[in-house]
Amino acid sequence: MRVGLDIGGTKTAAVVVGRDGSVLHRLTLSTGYGAEAVIRTAVLAVVELARLAGADTRAFESIGIGIPGIVDVATGRVSHAVNLGLRDVDLAGELAGRLGTAVHVENDVNAAAMGAFHQMGQSGLHSLAYLNLGTGLAAGLVLEGRLWRGSRGTAGEIGHICLDQDGPLCACGQRGCLELVASGSGVARQWPTDDPRPVEALFRAVVAGEDGALEVWSRLARSVAAAVRVLVLTIDVERIVIGGGMTSLGEPLLAAVRGVLDAGAADSAFLSSLSLSERVAMVSGESGVTAAMGAALCGWPLQVTQPG
């Protein structure tokens, strides 16, 4: 049995995964803020999973953690996890010391990509991009069953591809980044709301016919479609799975993105030949569980490469 945790800004999803990759037990806890609180939450989640599994925490073969921020996968150190209040923490060392089990730490989007690949792995899939539409926008890449992080861990950071040289300033210092329109924060910036799920508030406004809402919605759909094109034209993955907080809206978002891709294919024989619309899917179930499952798999990726 292996354990996977997805430590998010508000919730921590945790799963026990069996040898065949199936989820045996799962739970969700509120995540604390700051290093000690985050570590305490992770320990509590593993202890609780052990209780559900009727075992000691040391009976788990490994613990995988998916967490937002910059992760040094070799050492398990996490830095710049702003939403969690972590500046620089030896997360793997702290948890391994308290739980007596090896701990592997991975960036949350990469972990989710691994989980999505496994969820679709029965279809003989070789390559997949997980397009995370959360507060920001980034992609995780799985090629032949293994994560592709790039030479410096930057692979998939497509949220900072510049779409408009004269666009608004991004936190990264560039202008007009994709993330400024195709993300939860991007939607909230263009369609201010108190709703914690800005894309749902935007969609309600579109349905109600409110002034300007359709323009923001169309820009969102076009920008997510642009992210899909970038991923296919760069690495030609077989599947692009859209996940993250924005997918709580579900089908309307997927339909809007497919609509843009279909319209592009109708106007361009080249785009039509790429079958972009058919390659796009949405994560099944909760994103947090997918990411937690992926985190559990990250420690032993070779075992999930065989297509069934």
Dist. CA 131–CA 231, nearest whole Å: 9
Q: What does the DSSP assignment read for 222-286?
A: HHHHHHHHHHHHHH--SEEEEESGGGGG-HHHHHHHHHHHHHHHHH-HHHHHTTHHHHEEE-SS-
Under rule CB under 5 A, residue 207 binds Zn ion = no
- Region from 112-120, 138-146, 173-181, 206-214 binding Zn ion, contact rule CB under 5 A: 173-181
Site string for Zn ion, 248-267 (x = CB under 5 A): --------------------
Nearer to Zn ion, 186 or 288 (CB): 186
Dist. CA 289–CA 181, nearest whole Å: 26
Site string for Zn ion, 177-206 (x = CB under 5 A): x-----------------------------
Task: Please report, as residue ranges, which positions from 146 to 165 form the binding site for Zn ion (by CB under 5 A).
Answer: 160
Dist. CA 56–CA 51, nearest whole Å: 7
Under rule CB under 5 A, residue 291 binds Zn ion = no
Nearer to Zn ion, 2 or 160 (CB): 160
- Provide the 10 A C-beta neighbour count for residue 185: 15
User: N- to C-terminal Cα distance for the chain?
Assistant: 21
Single-letter code of the amino acid located at 68: P
Under rule CB under 5 A, residue 169 binds Zn ion = no
Q: How many residues bind Zn ion (CB under 5 A)?
A: 5
Under rule CB under 5 A, residue 82 binds Zn ion = no
Shortest distance, position 169 Cβ to Zn ion, whole Å: 9
Under rule CB under 5 A, residue 27 binds Zn ion = no
Check: CB of residue 142 under 8 Å from CB of residue 117: yes
Dist. CA 186–CA 284, nearest whole Å: 24
Nearer to Zn ion, 38 or 231 (CB): 231
Judging by DSSP bridges, how do beta strands 62-67 and 70-72 pair with one another?
A: unpaired
- Region from 8-16, 121-129, 175-183, 299-307 binding Zn ion, contact rule CB under 5 A: 175-183
Nearer to Zn ion, 47 or 172 (CB): 172
Shortest distance, position 282 Cβ to Zn ion, whole Å: 25
Could you list the residues that contact Zn ion (CB under 5 A)?
A: 160, 170, 172, 174, 177
